[in-house]
Chain A
Amino acid sequence: MDLTEVYRAEYGRCVATLTRLLGDIGLAEEAVQDAFATAMTKWGEAPPSNPGAWIVTTARNRALDRLRRESTRDDRQAQAQLLAEPDEPQEVGPVRDDQLRMIFTCCHPALSPLAQTALTLRILGGLEVAEIARAYVVPEATISQRIVRAKKKIRDAGIPYRVPGSAELPDRLPPVLTVLYLVFNEGYASTSGELVRTDLTREAIRLARALAELMPDEPEVLGLLALLLLTEARRPARVGPDGELVVLAEQDRSRWDRQLIAEGHELVRRCLRRGRPGPYQLQAAINAVHTDGDATDWTQVLALYDQLLTHSPTPIVALNRAVAVAEVHGPEQALAAVDALDIPGYHLLPATRADLLARLGRTADAASAYGEAIALAGNDTERAFLETRRTALLSD
């Protein structure tokens, strides 16, 4: 039996429940880790039918034993709380609301963005510190320090372990969505080395699905999930046989994941019915157009980008909109829009310029723009792609 898989799937849920029972994330994590260590020796070939419930019950009993042994004043309080829980081991299963509480606690705006992401991946995703450090290309010590500091702040500053009320939700939901989006993005276009890190994309989708299940009436939550699914659906076609990057227009659409696309389209329709558009829903809608039929309807994409730009007037959105402008109104108009932008360090700005210049026949300018983009690109696949483009340009 694959304990690693059970660990990934159940760790976050179990820690979330134990945190409610113990009132402390650190104690909860220790108890859950203890329980998994016990599981390794006790489960043998056949895990129990509900591994999560088994872990929670075992962790709870372990924590209780420890508290009885070490009993300080604070611990006694936690012990009383634990004992107040009904003693029906089979009933003590991971509770969904606990997970939701945990997401909001990990993504509390009083924590730094890196700490929010690291905590979410560690606690809810069950990723090891080393895996998170590798994903973000930072030393392991940095991540573990951030996590320790964040947990300490949660405890010392009294960050509450609860789902914010509807009045606070507009302020508190965006950082949660941002964290999930960033985790996915880091997996989809990793800032260094290989192109796709499926562990991160899968984790982001799993958490977004959980969030959508928990908050089915929040259109932006559905929008985020749809966006991730529709992006993920195209992943198999995004890399060619030799590991090279394949742009949207050249992708073999038969390699797209039809099931994910259908699910994503259905979510986008649900969002449309609600009539409360937001940035994630609009991006999902753009991706729905890209994945609809045999070719992209660029007029529709451009209209959606116009709407997105009013919601999030960022230079990155403006750059993506320029790509749609090129398809609808031609490269000249798009180039004018791109030249008005300044996004320091972002390789896709010169890469987009290069493409537009090439289409306008300005080969020398295009080659130098590709050069700029190559110098800025972080991951090997994207760099190789840009180099191939430049070579093709100069040999024509």
Chain B
Amino acid sequence: MGVRIDESELPYSEEEMEASFARVGAVNDEMKAAGVWVFGGGLRPSDSATVVRVENGRAAMTDGPFAETKEQLGGFYVIEVDDLDAALTWAEKCAEACRVPIEVRPFDGIA
């Protein structure tokens, strides 16, 4: 589950952050207790991103994320559930806690 944030709305106030941490923490605990949690975490803002490409056998680096849009991946959860409906139920709880949209996508095999 990818957490989408609108970076143009950053930074959040300290109270907002604390309230959000408390809500998200509660859902995280719930997922762990239910045995679906694999791992999860928040990401630093996209200005800390670097894209690495290999062109003509040489690595080239560019500053910034893949796409320069205000909507960026703010963090993600990896959970293990039986089907989409179960994932959507957890996504709803996370979206409510984070107060931002969550994109749900299945893994195509895990290394």
Contacts and interface: CB of A to CB of B under 8 A. Distances in A.
A159 B86 CA distance: 10
A157 B106 contact: yes
Interface string B75-91: 00000001111011000
Nearest to A168: B85
A361 interface: no
A110 B89 CA distance: 12
Interface string B40-70: 0000000000000000000000000000000
Sorting the interface of chain A by its residue count into under 10, 10 to 19, 20 to 34 or 35 or more gives under 10
B107 to A, nearest CB: 10
Contact of A160 (B85, B104, B105, B108): B85
Interface in A130-182: 156-160, 164, 168
A15 B82 CA distance: 23
Interface string A276-312: 0000000000000000000000000000000000000
B88 A110 contact: yes
A157 B85 CA distance: 10
B88 A158 contact: no
Nearest to B88: A110
B1 to A, nearest CB: 12
Contacts of A108: 84
B83 A160 contact: yes
A164 B89 CA distance: 12
What is the interface residue range for chain B against chain A?
10 to 19
Contacts of A159: 83-85
A164 B106 contact: no
Nearest to A164: B85
A136 B82 CA distance: 35
Contacts of B87: 158
A269 to B, nearest CB: 35
Residue of B85, B87, B104, B106 most packed against chain A (CB within 10 A):
B85
Nearest to B105: A157
A156 B106 contact: yes
Nearest to B86: A160
Nearest to B108: A156
A158 B81 CA distance: 10
Nearest to A172: B85
Identify the interface centre among B84, B104, B105: most chain A CB within 10 Å of its CB.
Answer: B84
Interface string A308-347: 0000000000000000000000000000000000000000
A172 to B, nearest CB: 9
A346 B109 CA distance: 48
Max count, chain B CB within 10 A of own CB: residue among A108, A158, A159, A164: A158
A348 B107 CA distance: 48
Contacts of A160: 82-85
A108 B106 CA distance: 16
A332 B64 CA distance: 62
Interface in A91-142: 108, 110
Contacts of B85: 159-160, 164, 168
Most buried by A among B83, B87, B105, B108: B83
Contacts of B84: 108, 110, 157-160
A160 B87 CA distance: 11
A110 B83 CA distance: 12
Contacts of B105: 157
Contacts of B106: 156-158
Contacts of B88: 110
A156 B104 CA distance: 12
A56 B77 CA distance: 42
Contacts of A156: 106, 108
Contacts of A164: 85
Interface string A361-380: 00000000000000000000
A110 B104 CA distance: 10
B83 to A, nearest CB: 4
A256 B108 CA distance: 56
Interface of B: 82-85, 87-88, 104-106, 108
9 contacts: A108-B84, A110-B88, A156-B108, A157-B84, A157-B104, A157-B106, A158-B83, A158-B87, A158-B106
Given A158-B84, A164-B85, 15 more contacts: A108-B84, A110-B88, A156-B106, A156-B108, A157-B84, A158-B82, A158-B83, A158-B87, A158-B106, A159-B84, A160-B82, A160-B83, A160-B84, A160-B85, A168-B85
Closest 7 CB pairs of A and B: A160-B83, A158-B83, A158-B84, A159-B84, A157-B84, A160-B85, A157-B106
